[in-house]
Chain A
Amino acid sequence: MSSVKTEKKTPLIRMIKRDEITQKKTWMIRAVAILGALITGGILILCLGKNPLQAYSDMLRGAFGSKVLIQETVKQAIPLLITAIGISFAFKMKFWNIGAEGQVLVGAIGAGYWAFFYAATLPKIPLIILMIVTAMLFGGLYGLLPALCKAKWGTNETLFTLMLNYIALYIIKYLANGPWKAAGSSFPKMPMIHKGVRLSKVFGVHWGWIIALVLVVFASIYFNRTKQGYEIAVVGESNNTARYAGINVGKVFRRTMFLSGALAGIAGMLQVAGCDYTITERTAGGVGFTAITVAWLAHMNPYGMLGVAAFIAVLERGCNQIETTMAIPASVSDLLIGIILFFMLGCEFFINYRLVTRGGKEEQNA
């Protein structure tokens, strides 16, 4: 690259930071990226000896083919969206909470406690409220712990939150093996929750979707209009500026991480009471990780997250479909999601920079 030949006048391609870019061009670049990802995924499917066009159309059918299927897709999107909103609270202040998976799980445990043991003794509405509150409390405390250490000693939160995921997972394994094991089952699993505590449906999907939409609006207002939201933004930009402004950085860490975990806890509760009707190791099922990329791709914009979460849900449902119709293992969904995320992450570069080729002409990307 750095040879000292005089005939090589200028580097072949150089990149220059853009000052501004129109909305239209931004979306064009993103569209091209998604298209590129789909083509790459298509080539992969082709290499497996399957027809990519058929695969994609089967996926669409799997996500939207019937009323039931659409309801399933919505159901899939709910925990993803709520968890992503939770994560965005932490990410907005550059607190790398990658422990949402664990926060979802402990939320599920908190909700499960009431569902398993008090379904017969308490009426439904107080019971549901107790479940939500406990789930938020559990998830929140689980998120608070790394924030406490970060505030006090500057402990690396990335690994801390990550390790907590596995601890939550083993707590569930322990409960399923011992104290909460289903009576009469030879397998280590928990019982199904009582029919009385299962969430009722609105338009065919448990009402968690209403909560999700309310949270989108709530998060948007919280970020943009409230003092606490403003504090998060300042802390996220610079701890020094925050201290200068008289903001207690540690307190903002703690408060925001509690909220972040609490929201993930809600997602866990909804999975138990509205979707799985029990708790297993797969209750979170990678939602905590996928939600991180949802939040990131949407630039922490709650409305953007709504769109991205819906897109990922379609993809996941679609992959379940092609497992049965085309004998492609469902784990292809992770692979495809990975490819799409790679392309989306990469395309941000072309939104922020433009390329200049040797002749001095600008390359018109998209």
Chain B
Amino acid sequence: MLSIILKLIVAAVLAGTPLLFGALGEILTEKSGNTNLGVEGMMYMGAVSGIAGAFFYGKAAGGAPVGVVAVLIALVVSFLIGALGALIYAFLTITLRANQNVTGLTLTIFGTGFGNFFGDFIAKNAGGSLVVTDGVKAMFKGIAIPGLSKIPVLGTLLFNYNWMVYFAVIVAVVMAWFFKRSRVGLNLRAVGEDPATADAAGINVTRYKYVATVVGGGICGIGGMYISMVSQNGVWVFDCVSGYGWLAVALVIFATWDCNRAILVALVFGALKIMRLYVALPIPSQFYDMAPYIVTIIVLVITSMRESREHAQPKSCGTNYFREER
């Protein structure tokens, strides 16, 4: 029994990590007053570019790539391409003042096309499939942390994951600190709550919005890379992101825009995603798959019933700021 629970939790952590990346990226974006519904698209962009980066590096290295370099390349490229998607969004909504919802959706359409198109295209030219070398694959497998991983129960529970899991948690903790304690974080919150006030206080609203949105997109891109490198084990699979981005957007709401809470909620979502493999109930498997979406709706309704002033979406989300508007 214990071992099943352990396995469930470990699997939930692995399934929840890309959601956590996506949610963190979106939290950062929304804190600047932009609701970017393009998370799914940016994750696709990150997914394909991360794997492609490692793949082409492997080819250039003549089939004997250095694992660490491949990892760094995947990380940096997926971040940059995710950020590129966000940059398009930022330019359209911040500079050209296009509607945030529609632009975000368009980014999802674009990013999905981007991912699937380049995935297919590279696979086709590579003789059928886009796969990284075994050496690179190994870099994204779990690492048994010496000593600690041997502790009974806790070792399995905490010290046997791949590096990206720890990285995600670190990003979350750093972001939480950033919003609560740092000066720049305070300024960013002001921008998201009330850009006119932030502007009058001498904060460069445009720059803050751009940086937060673009970096947020980069984090989403890393989440996409997790899907292609860890979840799909270094093989490009058509339509691989399939809704993870949207779940990440929902996760932001449950986490009430709080990065620490996002870690916990990501775990719950991850558990819902993989539950059917571990808990056998007499219901068709599709209903398990539906669970995260149904739970999202339920929580959405419950949170809307009791409104809170501080644990809520930044107030200016959805509206663009123009100083000379009158």
Contacts and interface: CB of A to CB of B under 8 A. Distances in A.
Q: Do chains A and B touch in the complex (CB under 8 A)?
A: yes
B133 interface: no
Contacts of B108: 289
Given A1-B206, A158-B37, A167-B290, A345 B106 contact: yes
A236 to B, nearest CB: 13
Interface in B96-139: 96-99, 101-103, 105-114, 116-117, 120-121, 124
A178 B287 CA distance: 12
B88 interface: yes
B117 A331 contact: yes
Nearest to A172: B286
Contacts of A336: 113
B161 interface: no
A153 B296 contact: no
Interface in B232-277: 243, 246, 249-250, 253
Interface stretch (B13-21, B62-70, B189-197, B300-308): B300-308
B304 A155 contact: yes
Contact of A345 (B37, B92, B116, B206): B92
Interface residues on A, range: 35 or more
A346 B107 CA distance: 13
Interface in A47-83: 48
A336 to B, nearest CB: 8
A131 interface: no
Given A167-B293, A174-B284, A342 B102 contact: no
A346 B99 contact: no
Given A163-B250, A166-B290, A334-B116, A342 B92 contact: yes
A160 B302 CA distance: 12
Nearest to B38: A338
Contacts of B114: 334-335, 338
B229 to A, nearest CB: 21
Given A159-B249, A170-B289, A153 B305 contact: yes
B72 interface: no
A159 to B, nearest CB: 5
Contacts of B37: 98, 158
B120 A329 contact: yes
A332 B88 contact: no
Contact of B290 (A149, A170, A331): A170
A170 B287 CA distance: 7
Interface residues of B, number: 51
Interface string A162-176: 111011001101100
A82 to B, nearest CB: 19
A96 interface: yes
Nearest to A145: B297
Interface in B142-195: none
Contacts of B253: 156, 159
Residue with the highest number of chain A CB atoms closer than 10 Å, among B96, B101, B107, B249: B96
A349 B96 contact: yes
Given A286-B109, A333-B113, A345-B98, A160 B300 contact: yes
B17 to A, nearest CB: 20
B107 A335 contact: no
Contacts of B300: 155-156, 159-160, 163
Contacts of B112: 331, 334
Interface string B276-295: 00000000101101100110
A18 to B, nearest CB: 13
Contact of B99 (A173, A177, A345): A345
B294 A167 contact: yes
Contact of B284 (A178, A327, A329): A178
Contacts of A48: 121
A154 interface: yes
Contacts of B98: 345-346, 348-349
B101 to A, nearest CB: 6
Given A16-B324, A349-B98, 7 more contacts: A155-B300, A155-B304, A170-B290, A174-B287, A331-B112, A331-B117, A349-B95
Interface of A: 1-2, 16-17, 48, 96, 98, 149, 153-156, 158-160, 162-164, 166-167, 170-171, 173-174, 177-178, 286, 289-290, 292-293, 296, 327-329, 331-339, 341-342, 345-346, 348-349, 352-353
15 contacts: A1-B206, A17-B324, A17-B325, A149-B301, A149-B304, A153-B304, A170-B287, A171-B286, A328-B121, A329-B121, A331-B112, A333-B113, A338-B114, A345-B96, A345-B106
